[in-house]
Amino acid sequence: MKRKGLVQLLFLGGIGVVFASAFGGGCMQGSEADASDPTQADMANGFIGPEACRSCHAQEYTDWTKSDHMKAMMVANDSTVLGDFNNATYTADGVTSTFFKRDGKFFINTEGHDGRNEDFEVKYTFGFSPLQQYLVEAPRGRMQVPRVSWDAKQHRWYHQYPGQNLHHRDWLHWTGGAQNWNTMCASCHSTDLKRNYDEDTDSFATTWTNVTVSCESCHGPGQSHAAFMASDAYAQGERVAGNHLFLHKGLNNVELASTCVRCHSRRSEFSDNPTASYEAFDNYLPALPIPDLYYADGQIRDEVYVYGSFTQSKMYKRGVKCTDCHQPHTGLLLEPGNALCRQCHEPEYDSEAHTFHSGANTPSCVSCHMPTHTYMGNDVRHDHSFRVPRPDQSVEYGTPNSCIACHTDRSDAWAAAAVVRWYGPERAPHYSDRLLAGSRLDQGSLNALLALYGDTATPVVIRATAMHYIAELPDARSVEALRKALHDPSAQVRQESISGLGNFPPDQWAKEVAPLLSDPVRAVRMEAAGVLSTIPAELMQPAWQAAFKPAYAEYLASLHFQSDLSMGSLMLADHYLRKGDPTAERYYLRTLRLDSLANYARFNLASMYNGQGRNADALTILNEAVAVDPGNTRAYYNRALLFAEMERYAEAIPDFEAAERLGAENDRVYINHSALLQYQQQMEKAKSVLDAGLVRFPDSTDLLAEVVGLLIRTGKLKATDPYLLRWQTLSPQDPRLQEMRRYRAQAVNG
C-alpha cells in the first residue's frame, strides 16, 4: 500500500480566498451591514472591513461590488436570493423539494438526515452566477448545502448531480460531510474564516470577519496599512514596501499565484491561520495533476480549479500573471475574445493560416488551447494549462482533445490525421509525452519519468508529479532519483520526494531526509517529520530530535486540523497504524462514523485487528465491507486471506473467485488463490488460476515465476518453455529467472 502523502484532503470550495459572526452555538443574526462591520475583537486581529478601504480606494471598491467575489456568500434576503421561492417545487431522484417564503424568510422543504421531508430555513446565499446555492443550519454548528440549486442563467431549479439517488445516511447526501459548508466550502467564501472544529464533540464554532470575499481576503489585514497611510510618517515621506499589505503591486507571478492558490486550487490546508508567506507550500498542499483529478497528460478532469493547470503552462513558466488576463477587482477578462491573447501573441495566430478554419467555423483561441469542462451542472470552466491539442495522444492514451470537443461526429484518429496534414508528422516536444508514458507504471515508465524530471524545461509541478510516479516503481534508480530530488530548489518537489521515499525501506533514506526537518518550507519539514515518525527506533538518531519535535508537532497539528473530514480522520488513523499505536483503532472507527461508506478504513482496521490476533473482529469488519460495496474486489480478497488464515478454506475459495471475477487489483490475488489450491493438492486448478492471472496481468514476472515453479514441482518440465521465454523477454536480468532455470535443470538431471 502506498503511503499517503502529507494531508491529501482536497477541498471542494471554489471561488474566493481566505475569509466572524460567531457561528457555532448559533449563527449571528443580522443584516448585510452587520457582516461588513468588524467588531473590536476583529480589529484586534487586524481586520477592518471593506468599508474602511472605500474612502481611499473608491474605484477598486466599486469594481469589487461588481465581482463574483463580493457575492460569494451573503445574508439571505430579497436582494440577494435569486431563486424562485414562490411555492415552487422540483423533483429529482425520488425527492420532491418545495421552495417558499414565510414571515419574510426563505425555506426549503426537502428530505432531511432521517429520510423525511422537513422545512429548512435558508440563512445565506452561496455564489451568484452561473448558479446559486443556499445554506441552512444543522446541529453542532454546521451549515449544509442542499443539492438542489438555482440555475441563474436559465432561471430554473436543477439538481447538480442527476441520477444520484442517495440514501439519507450516505456521506454524499446533502446532510452529510460532502456538503458540509464548514469543511468543504467556507474558507473560500468568507474573510478570515476560522473553522474552530472541536474533535471531541464533532462540532464547529466557525467565525469570520466578513461574510463574503472582501479586500482583506487577498490583501491581508488592513489595520496596519490604514494606520500607516494616515500617519505623520507617511505624510512626511516615509515609505514601506507594500505599505503593510500582503498583496500589493510589484509581485511576480509566483508570488501572486501564491495568494490565489488559497482558493483557486484543489488543495489541503494546514491550519486556520495561514502565514503571510509567498511560498504556497507554507500553508497549502495543492493536488498534483494525477488521475483521477486530472487526465494522465495533466488536462483537467475533476473539479480542480486553476492553480494546478496554470502552473503546468508555458505562460506561467515565462512569468505571465493572473492579472495579465483578469482584472483583479472585478475578476473579468481585460479584453474580449481573441483580443486578450493578442496582447502578447502575434496577429498571425488569429488567422486562417494558423487555425485552418474560416468564417463562422473559426474557433477562438481558448476553444482550442483552453478546452472546457462543466462542473456543478452548469458551471463551464477553462483548462489553464494552455496546451496545443494532441489528438495523437488521444489515439494512444485515450486522453481528450479539443478538436473532438467541437467535431463530435469525428474520431481521434481523424483529428490526428488532420494535424499531420497541416503541420507534418513531428510534434513539438511537450512534457505530456513523457508524463503519459510514465503514468502507465510499466516496464518503460521509469526511463520516461527520469528524463522528465531531468529536463529543465519541465514545469515544477510536473517534475513533482514525476516523483510521485517514480515512488510507485520498485527500482534502485527510483530511490536514487527520490534522494537526489530532496535537494531540489522547489518545495513541491522536495515534499513529494520525501513522501515517495516512504514507500522504500527507511535505512535507504532516513539520514538524507533528516536534514529537511529544518527546511524553511512548512510542507517539506512536516512531510519529513511524518515519514521519520514511523521508522524503527534504532534508526532515529538523537541529533535529529531538536528539529524533529517542532516539525512533528506541526505535522500532527495539521492532521488534527483536518479531522472534521472523514479523510482527515482516516489520515490520523493511518499515521497511528504506521507507528504501531493502538490509537489508530479510535480514528478508524471515527472515520466510519463520519462516512459509513469508507471501506478503505475497514480494510486497514481489519488488518490491524488481524495483527492483534482479533480475527473475529477483523472478519466482522470485512463482512461489513462486502455488504457496503459488494462490487469491491479488495473486500473479497482481504476476506479470502483472512478465511485462509483461519483455516476456513471452503469459504476462502469463493472469495478469491469473486475478487478475480470483479477485476483483481493486483497479481497477488491469483498467486494467493493458487497457493491455497496447491495446499489442497488441486494442481490443475492452481495452474489455471495462474494462467488467468497472466491474462489479467500479462507483464507480471511474479506470476510467471509461480507458474514455472508449479510446473517444475509437478514434473511438467517441457511445459515451462513458453513461460521461461516470455519471462526472458520481459525481464532478462531478473535473478529469479536464472535461479528457476537452475532449478529446472536440476529437475531434468535428477
Mean pLDDT of 452-477: 96
Q: Which residue has the higher pLDDT, 455 or 746?
A: 455
C-alpha cell at 635: 473486500
Give the whole-angstrom CA distance, residue 655 versus residue 281: 44
106 forms bridges with which residues in the sheet?
A: 101
Question: Burial level of 261, CB count in 10 A (0-12/13-18/19+)?
Answer: buried
**What pLDDT, on the 0 to 100 scale, is given for residue 167?**
81
337's CB contacts (< 8 A; 6+ apart) are 364
- Domain range list for the chain: 32-226
Q: At what angle do helices 615-628 and 633-645 cross, to 10 degrees?
A: 160
Q: Is the dihedral of CA 12, 14, 20, 23 positive or negative?
A: negative
Whether the pLDDT of residue 462 is over 80: the answer is: yes
Question: Between 720 and 43, where is the model more confident?
Answer: 720
Q: For the segment 695-728, what is each residue's pLDDT rounded down to a tens digit?
A: 999 999 999 999 999 999 999 999 999 999 999 9
Q: Which residues pair with 75 in a beta bridge?
A: 124
pLDDT in tens, 117-149: 999 999 999 999 999 999 999 999 999 999 899
Measured distance CA(308)–CA(289) in Å, rounded: 7
Instruction: Name every residue whose Cβ is closer than 8 Å to that of residue 474 and which is 6 or more positions away in sequence.
Output: 503, 504
User: Does a cis peptide bond (omega within 30 degrees of 0) precede residue 130?
Assistant: yes
Residue 595 predicted with pLDDT over 80: yes
Strands (E), 129-182: 131-138, 142-144, 148-151, 156-159
pLDDT of 505 strictly over 90: yes
In DSSP terms, 119 is beta-bridged to 109
Model pLDDT for residues 244-258, shown as the tens digit of each residue: 999 999 999 999 999
Return the closest-CA partner of residue 741 out of 750, 717, 731. 717
Angle between helices 649-661 and 683-696 (to 10 degrees): 30
Query: Is the previous residue joined to 292 through a cis bond, with omega within 30 degrees of 0?
Result: yes
pLDDT for 164: 78
| C-alpha cell of residue 395 | 489515439
Question: Is the per-residue pLDDT at 626 higher than 90?
Answer: yes
Please enumerate, as own/partner, the contacts of 724-729 that have beta carbons within 8 Å and a separation of 24 or more: 727/701
Per-state percent for the chain, helix, strand, coil, to nearest 5: 50, 10, 40
Cα 709 to Cα 706, 712, 736, distances in angstroms:
5, 5, 11
pLDDT tens figures, 525-535: 999 999 999 99
Name residue 295's amino acid.
Y
Residue with cell 537526489: 484
Whether the full predicted model's pTM is greater than 0.75, yes or no, is yes
Pairing of strands 105-111, 95-102: antiparallel
How far is CA 431 from its chain centroid?
Answer: 21
Q: Give the mean pLDDT of 459-464.
A: 98
Write out the three cell numbers for 348.
498571425
Instruction: Decide if pLDDT at 39 tops 50.
Output: no
Please give the average per-residue pLDDT across 175-185, as a whole number.
Answer: 92
**What's the rounded mean pLDDT across residues 384-404?**
97
Query: Exposed, middle or buried, 531 (CB in 10 Å: 0-12/13-18/19+)?
Result: buried
Q: Any idea of the CA torsion for 418, 419, 425, 428, to the nearest 10 degrees?
A: -170
pLDDT score at 160: 86
More confident call, 27 vs 737: 737
Q: Residue 32: is its pLDDT beyond 60? A: no
Q: Which CA distances in Å does 170 have to 167, 174, 597?
A: 5, 9, 7
Listing DSSP states for 369-406 in one string gives HS-EEEETTTEEEE-TT-----HHHHHHH----HHHHH
- Read off the pLDDT of each residue in 365-383 and give the average, rounded to a whole number: 96
| Confidence class for position 36, pLDDT limits 50, 70, 90 | very low
d(CA 382, CA 729): 44
Label residue 683 exposed, middle or buried (CB < 10 Å: 0-12, 13-18, 19+): middle
State the greatest distance between any 2 C-alpha atoms of the chain, in Å, as a whole number: 101
**pLDDT single digits (tens) 314-371:** 999 999 999 999 999 999 999 999 999 999 998 889 999 999 999 888 999 999 999 9
